[in-house]
Amino acid sequence: MSVARVAEGVINLAVGHPHASLLPRQLLAEGCEAAAAVLATSDSKYDLGYADEQGNDNVLESVATFLSRTGGAAPPVLPTELFITCGVSHGLETVLSVLSRPGDVCVVTCPTYFLAARVLADHQLQLREVSCCDTEGLDFAALEALLEREPVRFLYIVTSHANPTGVTLNADARRCLVALAHKHRFWVLADEVYTYLHWGEPLPPRMRAFDEPDGPADCGVIAMNSFSKMLAPALRCGWVEAPSHVVRALSRRGYVVSGGNPAAFVSRLVVGMLEGGGVEAHLAFLQAALKERCELLQECLRAECETGGVDWDWTPPCGGYFLWLRLPEDVDVEVLVAAARTRFAVSVLPGGACSAVSVAGRKARHVRPCFSFLTLETLREGVSRLATAVRAGRNGDGAN
Ligand SMILES: Cc1ncc(COP(=O)(O)O)c(C=O)c1O
């Protein structure tokens, strides 16, 4: 069942969507009006014709400028390293359709973004898990041991404010991962979708900044990002940032040669908002709103710890949508999640749902409350219900 659907009255901490009030309605309405005015009078091929395969020049330049402007000390992004997509999911699908063969080995973190695992499975990749750790985001010793054992073709990882852990790969970890990719000749598929939903210390540069500008044919970094989290998921607009030979291969896919770039119309709309400064203004609003929700969530969790006797713990996120909440040792996560939903009217994603590989007997210790989807008041009530469910289970009335 989709985590987006819950029964009437159930508070949904499980779903990783933006709350309606976080969507840039006014900005998009203005963007559409501006685009409509141009459409009515223009005879430019950029508006309604088939787009260039890679994306139209003005779109590529605009996205490259945005990435360079917001990229800190990283070298500027070249338009030749970008391919416009319908989002990260589409980017991953298209990259794999070009570079993968059934049976290729792909490393994923454990836990990981569980829906990306579906895309990897569609390409019949053999998945191997390497655990995340709080500080580095990846257990490098385990990864190196695995790389010595068998050839690996891909490693998929959410590099900043990961879904579900909230962990960000620091600069050393990024450098180390790219060095391993070159040594063992695999592609790092870097999902950067939460990079711009950030507060606190500045983030390390994007993953591509750690790779050679136009590196080897068979390994390195391919990054994917989109406007789904920065603006609105319904736009279905994003980009792949990759060595230019990979970008050329993506542009040669049959469906692209036949239909032109698939995000032609919407990317033109987004460019208007990028160039008018609307995207960065919305990001500033979004960062503040998410930070406020995240802080309130933690305040409520702390209160349940201090006065409610629920000794859960977590690493404070500084971006993204999620908090990875470790439950007390004596709580059976699956039983708790089921009881929380049916008896206490609060839905939360169990940590086990965030594994790409099912391992018999593996016990999850975490749940993944999402702080982007609810209002402050509902978040407060959601935590209170979850804490009640934990206490009820410990008192032996059936939640655990
Ligand atoms: C880590 C991660 N990657 C990708 C996506 C989907 O991105 P897009 O809408 O750009 O396909 C999500 C959505 O929740 C996500 O959490």
Over residues 367-385, the pLDDT tens digits come to 999 999 999 999 999 999 9
Average pLDDT of the segment spanning 97-108: 98
Whole-number Å distance, alpha carbon 93 to ligand 1 midpoint, is 12
- The pLDDT, as a whole number, for residue 160 is 96
Residue 35 clears pLDDT 70, i.e. is over it: yes
Residues with CB under 6 A from ligand 1: 16, 87-89, 113, 116, 158, 163, 191, 193, 226, 228, 233, 238
- The pLDDT, as a whole number, for residue 137 is 83
Percent residues over pLDDT 90 in the chain: 84
- Indicate the pLDDT class of residue 135, thresholds 50, 70 and 90: low
User: What does the alpha-carbon distance between residue 293 and residue 295 come to, in Å, rounded to a whole number?
Assistant: 5
Tens-place pLDDT, residues 156-187: 999 999 999 999 999 999 999 999 999 999 99
Determine the atom of ligand 1 nearest the C-alpha atom of 162: 1
Whole-number Å distance, alpha carbon 87 to ligand 1 midpoint, is 8
Whole-number Å distance, alpha carbon 205 to ligand 1 midpoint, is 20
Instruction: Tell the residue nearest (CA) to atom 14 of ligand 1.
Output: 16
Collapsing DSSP to helix, strand or coil, 327 comes out as coil
Whole-number Å distance, alpha carbon 89 to ligand 1 midpoint, is 6
Question: CA Rg, the chain, in Å?
Answer: 22
User: What does the alpha-carbon distance between residue 227 and residue 237 come to, in Å, rounded to a whole number?
Assistant: 6
Determine the atom of ligand 1 nearest the C-alpha atom of 89: 11
Average pLDDT of the segment spanning 142-152: 97
- The pLDDT, as a whole number, for residue 283 is 97
Whole-number Å distance, alpha carbon 254 to ligand 1 midpoint, is 25
Nearest Cα to 356, choosing from 164, 170, 189?
Answer: 164
Determine the atom of ligand 1 nearest the C-alpha atom of 224: 10
Answer yes or no: are the C-beta atoms of 11 and 340 closer than 8 Å.
no
Residue 397 clears pLDDT 70, i.e. is over it: no
Whole-number Å distance, alpha carbon 318 to ligand 1 midpoint, is 18
Determine the atom of ligand 1 nearest the C-alpha atom of 227: 10
User: What does the alpha-carbon distance between residue 144 and residue 95 come to, in Å, rounded to a whole number?
Assistant: 24
- The pLDDT, as a whole number, for residue 134 is 63
Determine the atom of ligand 1 nearest the C-alpha atom of 113: 1
Alpha helices in 216-277 (DSSP H): 244-251, 254-259, 264-275
Whole-number Å distance, alpha carbon 321 to ligand 1 midpoint, is 11
